[in-house]
Structure 1
Amino acid sequence: MTGAQPVILGDMPSLSKLYVNAAATAARRRVLGTDAGASLPPCGHEVRGVLAQVGNLTAYQHLVGETASDVLPAGFLHALAFPVAMSVMNRDDFPLPLLGMVHLANTVEQHGPLLFTESLDITSWAENLRGHRAGTQIDVVAEVRRTDQSGVVWKGTSTYLARGVFLPGIDKPLVMPEPATFAAPDPTAQWQLGVDTGRAYAAVSGDFNPIHLSVLSAKALGMRRSIAHGMYLASRALADVGAVKGDSFRWDVAFEAPVFLPARVALDISSVHSGAGAWHRSDYVAWNPRSGRRHFSGSVTAL
């Protein structure tokens, strides 16, 4: 992590309180305006001695289709670290509004297994504030270590877009890459997602962002219906890749179009093997089988 030493938090932040505070901050900015500059918080946040709850782990594994195991899935670790990341985004000196931010992409590097019985230290900070043709984007990084050990076992970088927010001194890129044309392949799986999918994932992840919970709460934030959590979708794709990925891998996902609930999602997973026949990488893509519009795509690569 760059910059000053992180602020050590005594307890894991409450996501519900963070969302309430974010709503209050948004209301205050609408009334009073904001003088937010283009600078990042000078330090991150850290919570030490975090233990996963086995009941929550079991519910998560069941929901996303992971095999029951004592090992914490990479997507579960994202959810475990999310409150710490949210607390950084909720700081008064965080330059972008938290509510309404769009999750563009995520990259995870996993360097070995972590067990639910292990005590973990979680650190998060913000970096790489930059322009986007539709607003301003930022990376929020989280790292997970075993308590009292220095080596990073899990690192996640989430890229968010504050749509319509243009900060002074942050230039829009002159050219943005156009998304590649997409022709839907034959799916290897189809998911049927109910209207309660967002609430079910919120119950195991703690992420009760209103855009995922109901039609009414989503409409209040400008969505026509509630949408599925991006990391729920990506975690299901990772579970579909399966145990072939091993314990050390890089997991990438880029989100393109939201999945409005209820929904049917088509998924294709293709694998690449080395010359020796060993698994090297799996690529995945998900789309709307009716419209052919791509929802997200990514890869899982051996480290």
Structure 2
Amino acid sequence: MAGLLGLYAKAGLTGFLRDGKGSLPTSEYRREAVLVDREHLAQYNKVCGFGLRDELPVTYPHILAFPMQIELMTQRDFPFALPGLVHIANSITVSGPLRLGEPFDLRVHAVDLREHERGKQFDVISEATVDGAVVWRDVSTYLRKGGGSGSPAAGERAEPPRPSAVWQVPSDIGRRYGEVSGDRNPIHLHPLTAKAFGFPTAIAHGMWSKARCVAALEGRLPEAYTVSARFKLPVLLPAKVGFSAQATEQGWQFALHDLRTGKPHLSGEAVSS
């Protein structure tokens, strides 16, 4: 986590060297025998709304893999500059629980560079393995804007679902999540640094929004499932948001929207696997 500040500095200083051409690197990053720190897990659970348990929240290993993702995306052979990449979706599949005190291995690699109507997209795959078997798999999809085929025709905006709960998202949630996750992107930390990147104020992390939604479903999800989220409009801090969840035959559908304007922040689903 401590090395992330240096990686962000490296990304800012070397971004101009990347032209967006070429293929994704084939390198894979690994950490072996990862053990979770109890205090750090408790801090993460508090920030995201999870209960205090020995079982790791499904989104928690993402922040352990995140420094490896950044290391991968700041190497010289990576085609895109880190500043400007947009995290547009995340899908996590678990086949069983990971627990505090039980070591596991982590590995990260990038795959599937492909076209997007607004540019190019690719996936960063993070996996946790126990005795060689994958027990947790995270697919983070990133978009590099520019040179795409153009946005598809926009349809009428659907009415937001009736909220199951209303959440007050404080202005410091970006700093608090950044502290526990290591993701100290300036757009999340302070209104002034966010304005430098074109945002009117600081915005919440997409993975905090997803974790907060999953926390609201805690105790109602099976042992093996896939939880996916598509990140839409950013949550401008502070905010009042509506969370909605509806049971389906396969699991749950959930969403997050701005309570005042009805604009969508996130849509997702959790289905048995």
The alignment's TM-score, normalised by the length of structure 2, stands at 0.94
For the residue of structure 1 that corresponds to 2:59, the secondary structure is helix
- Give distance in 1, aligned partners of 2:10 and 2:202: 21
Which one of 41, 45, 49 corresponds to residue 29 of structure 2?
Answer: 45
- Give distance in 2, aligned partners of 1:190 and 1:281: 22
Which one of 9, 19, 26 corresponds to residue 8 of structure 2?
Answer: 19
Aligned pair 1:160/2:130, yes or no?
A: no
Which one of 248, 252, 267 corresponds to residue 224 of structure 2?
Answer: 248
For the 8 Å contact 1:133–1:173, the answer to whether it is kept is: yes
* Partner residue in 2 for 1:5: none
For the 8 Å contact 2:168–2:241, the answer to whether it is kept is: yes
Q: Deviations over 1:87-135 (max 9, x none)?
A: 1111111111111211110111011011121222111111111222322
For structure 1, list consecutive stretches of 5 or more residues without a partner in the other structure.
1-11, 167-171, 274-279
For the residue of structure 1 that corresponds to 2:207, the secondary structure is helix
For structure 2, list consecutive stretches of 5 or more residues without a partner in the other structure.
none
* Partner residue in 1 for 2:168: 192
Q: Deviations over 1:8-64 (max 9, x none)?
A: xxxx782222111111112xx1xxx54452211122211112211111101111121
In the TM superposition, residue 222 of structure 1 has moved relative to its aligned partner by 2.2
Which AA in structure 2 matches 1:300?
A
- Give distance in 2, aligned partners of 1:152 and 1:178: 39
Q: Larger Cα Rg: Structure 1 or Structure 2? A: 1
Number of residue-to-residue matches in the alignment: 273
Identity %: 36
- Give distance in 2, aligned partners of 1:34 and 1:203: 29
For the 8 Å contact 2:119–2:149, the answer to whether it is kept is: no
* Partner residue in 1 for 2:74: 90
In structure 2, relative to structure 1, the CA distance for the partners of 1:242 and 1:179 (3 Å cut) is farther
* Partner residue in 1 for 2:262: 292
* Partner residue in 2 for 1:226: 202
* Partner residue in 2 for 1:8: none
Q: Deviations over 1:177-209 (max 9, x none)?
A: 757742122210111111101001111111111
In structure 2, relative to structure 1, the CA distance for the partners of 1:177 and 1:106 (3 Å cut) is farther
- Give distance in 2, aligned partners of 1:132 and 1:302: 28
- Give distance in 1, aligned partners of 2:88 and 2:153: 14
For the 8 Å contact 1:13–1:87, the answer to whether it is kept is: no
Give the alignment's Cα RMSD to 1 decimal.
Answer: 1.8
- Give distance in 2, aligned partners of 1:196 and 1:179: 35
Which one of 102, 124, 132 corresponds to residue 150 of structure 1?
Answer: 132
Q: Give the 4+ runs in structure 1 shifted more than 6 A.
A: none
Which one of 259, 266, 279 corresponds to residue 235 of structure 2?
Answer: 259
For the 8 Å contact 1:36–1:93, the answer to whether it is kept is: no
Aligned pair 1:67/2:37, yes or no?
A: no
For the 8 Å contact 1:41–1:94, the answer to whether it is kept is: yes
The alignment's TM-score, normalised by the length of structure 1, stands at 0.85
- Give distance in 1, aligned partners of 2:145 and 2:150: 17
